[in-house]
Chains A and B, each alone.
Chain A
Amino acid sequence: MSAATPVQDDWRARAANQTRLAFGQALLEIGARESRSVVVSVDTQDLLGIRPWIERFRDRFVELGIAEQNAIGVASGLATTGLRPYVCAYAPFITARSMEQVRNDVAYANQRVVIGAAASGISLGVAGGTHHALEDLALMRSFPNMTVIVPADVTEAYRATLATLEIDGPVYLRLGGRVEEPPVGDPGAPFRLGRAVQLRAGDDLAVIACGALVEPALRAADALKQEGIGVRVLNMHTIKPLDRDAILKAAAETRGIVTAEEHRLAGGLGGAVAELLALERPTRMRMIGMPDEFACVGPTLPLRARYGMSAEAIAAACRELLA
């Protein structure tokens, strides 16, 4: 690794409250710090904001066109030679289209490949069900060796991306689309892999959220506080390895747990929390997420509200648990 280079201080402005762009900005710091890093694009240069990388590190850039299966295989091959590939892709395609390559070439072969998966959830709302990624966490977290991270805002996305330098294995980094993700945490807080961040204290209930639903979870907690209900909010940015201690502690110290994610209810964060609690400490739960259906076409925020992924829905689930 080369000597540390000055951290650019303008990344935050360039990220414009979008985690996908924070990833691209963090790559510039990675490129300067790690001479073995390589960026792989599948015609996604603007989606993840990697044109500055191409300008600065042209010899460590691989454009493969719209060929996700090939991209994952190539990334695995690159990794076997000691390089550190960062695949920049669309979440719906890189997880579903090339799932076998992710499973075999990356997870099973345990190669150090980082997948930056933008446009996750229903961030591409108007694009319709073909372009929604609502099962990617279920797929990715089911693979042994895989680390799964869902940043909630640009600070977390930037720091989580830098943290991949220290992860000796494959990583799935779930990023948003062209929808602003307002800051939720302390911009100075470090990123600690596998350690949930408590954003609100409270002992009546706990909301465990990730990604785009952390901010609505905070609004729900603030509203419930006005009603005299103390809601603990945990930002579970790492889905795998899961922060078992924080979850079990929340289960022990509160009267119930609500999970919240922009993902189908099957197999995501809620599923991971439920699996743990069912075995270790059965707890009353409610799960906020996409029901067992394909979403209709629409802008992201109205879609979230339509399918119960909102501050109001989280608050209602909390009240239900206390009733």
Chain B
Amino acid sequence: MSETRDRLLARLEAEARQLRRNIWRALRAGGGGHAGGSSSAADILTVLYFHRMRIRPAEPEWPERDRFVLSKGHANAALGAVLAQAGFIDDAILDRFYGFESPFGMHPDIKVAGVEMCTGALGHGLAVAMGMALGARIQKQDFHTFVMLGDAELHEGSNWEAAMAAAHFGLANLTAIVDFNKIGQSGRLDELIGVEPLADKWRAFGWAVREIDGHDLGEVVDALATPLDPQRPTALIAHTVKGKGVSFAEDTYVWHSNSVNDEVYARALGELGEPERSKP
């Protein structure tokens, strides 16, 4: 019997809390890092890895797996944490964030199990994900490709080359999720280069678009359930809060990337709360 919706959401909420704890754990191990964008992405990653994606953590190269590309690669603390939590990589790797010769650096490395591409130089992931979606079509495979983009990342013009082409090919097996936390490295997007009207831009490029609350697990579950349109790629504009979950890190460019010492870590974990024990 399938999981009831209440139980699903409760399970995802517990995973999301644990994910945020793991993100801050990694940040402390590294002495700091991209807390803001990792935290804004955490709920979406939770739904992808613990509910939506067809994956086999013990078999990371499984050809039929769904793909996830973290185009906003600076949120690698979140990707590493979710891969560890899902069982792709050893949990102890989280304590080696930024470590010498660590597989877990500031940005994703394809050599790590579960990581699909070396990203972090911005404006690359959508094209690569589109290549994966095209590869599935050419080889008549039914896996789905998800790619997460930063909002400030959309300043890179290469995204729009890929957006135009993915719509041209009608790649319904491709879903782009924009982590729209409204803040870049130097300040608010509307004070840097504004990206609004963002949903209209994607619509104009030929994508099926839905705006969601990227922290409402139920909304994320529903939006990711199926492609929005059988003939077009899906763009989910996920409204999020940079640094979500830890009050002093929320909604400020200061926490795009910042130092994390033991004291900051303790305060963050205090706000995130204890992980829930598994219930009977």
Cα-based distance from A101 to B162 in the complex (angstroms): 13
What per-residue 1/0 map shows which CB atoms of A49-64 lie under 8 Å from chain B? 0000000000110101
Name B130's closest neighbour in chain A (CB-CB). Answer: A74
A67 adjacent to B165 (CB under 8 Å)? yes
Enumerate chain B residues within 8 angstroms of A109, measured Cβ to Cβ. 110, 117-118
Q: How far is the CB of A115 from chain B (nearest CB, A)?
A: 14
Contact of B131 among A59, A60, A76, A108 (CB under 8 A): A76
User: B128 at the A/B interface (Cβ < 8 Å)?
Assistant: yes
A74 adjacent to B139 (CB under 8 Å)? no
User: A78 at the A/B interface (Cβ < 8 Å)?
Assistant: yes
The number of residue pairs between A and B whose CB atoms lie closer than 8 Å in the complex comes to: 98
User: B158 at the A/B interface (Cβ < 8 Å)?
Assistant: yes
**Contact status of A101 and B127, CB under 8 A, knowing A38-B138, A81-B135, A81-B139:** yes
B141 adjacent to A70 (CB under 8 Å)? no
Interface size class of A (residues with CB under 8 A): 20 to 34
Enumerate chain A residues within 8 angstroms of B134, measured Cβ to Cβ. 62, 74, 77-78
Q: How far is the CB of B130 from chain A (nearest CB, A)?
A: 6
B135 adjacent to A70 (CB under 8 Å)? no
Enumerate chain A residues within 8 angstroms of B158, measured Cβ to Cβ. 69-70, 73, 101
Name A76's closest neighbour in chain B (CB-CB). Answer: B128
A73 adjacent to B124 (CB under 8 Å)? yes
B139 adjacent to A77 (CB under 8 Å)? no
Interface centre among B117, B128, B158 (most CB of A within 10 A): B128
Q: How far is the CB of B61 from chain A (nearest CB, A)?
A: 10
Q: How far is the CB of B59 from chain A (nearest CB, A)?
A: 15
A60 adjacent to B124 (CB under 8 Å)? no
What per-residue 1/0 map shows which CB atoms of B122-133 lie under 8 Å from chain A? 011011111111
Enumerate chain A residues within 8 angstroms of B124, measured Cβ to Cβ. 73, 100-101, 104-105
Q: How far is the CB of B137 from chain A (nearest CB, A)?
A: 9
Within 8 A of A (CB), among B127-172: 127-136, 138-139, 141, 157-158, 161-162, 164-165
